[in-house]
Amino acid sequence: MAKMPKEVQEVFADLTAFKAMATVDKEGKLNVSNIATVMAIDDETVAFADLFGGVTRTMKNLEETKKVAIFGIKPPITLAPPWTAYQLKGTFQGFETSGSLFDQYAKAVKDAVGLDIRAVGTIKVEEVSSQSPLEPGKELA
């Protein structure tokens, strides 16, 4: 597993950063969606809240193929480069519907946007790269 550098974890810990998750089904059909709740929970793992109970294409693809890429960007206020952006690639580990991680996410999402979650998914990070214009594609882990 890859270890995310501190600066990468900070972008994925920031609820104001934009995050998108790309998945693929077993026929190779790609899907990408905004997953604002992606957060680094340690230096090798990210987690996210499932708000819809596994019915979206993203959640179905995760269950089917386990492969995922996640993009996170924290643009400066002016939106002019350089901005901080990273890509993570990894393997979906599964969903949790109870326990301390679930309870932590349920409270955070409820407090932030007033929604109840159905589950928390976890992903083991295998690759980390920069998506910044100053270091495009640079492997970080």
Per-residue pLDDT of 101-137, as tens digits, reads 999 999 988 998 899 999 999 999 999 998 877 776 6
Q: Which of 14, 34, 137 is nearest to 87 (CA)?
A: 137
Q: What is the pLDDT of residues 31-77, one digit of tens each?
A: 999 988 899 999 999 999 998 877 789 989 999 999 999 999 987 76
Q: Under CATH, to which class is 6-130 assigned?
A: mainly beta
Give residue limits of the domains in the chain. 6-130
How would residue 2 be classed by pLDDT, with cut points 50, 70 and 90? Answer: confident
The mean per-residue pLDDT over the stretch 10-25 comes to 91
User: Which pLDDT does position 79 carry in this prediction?
Assistant: 64
Q: Computed over its alpha carbons, how large is the radius of gyration of the chain?
A: 15
CB 63 within 8 A of CB 50: no
Dihedral (CA of 25, 3, 88, 14) sign: positive
User: Which pLDDT does position 74 carry in this prediction?
Assistant: 86
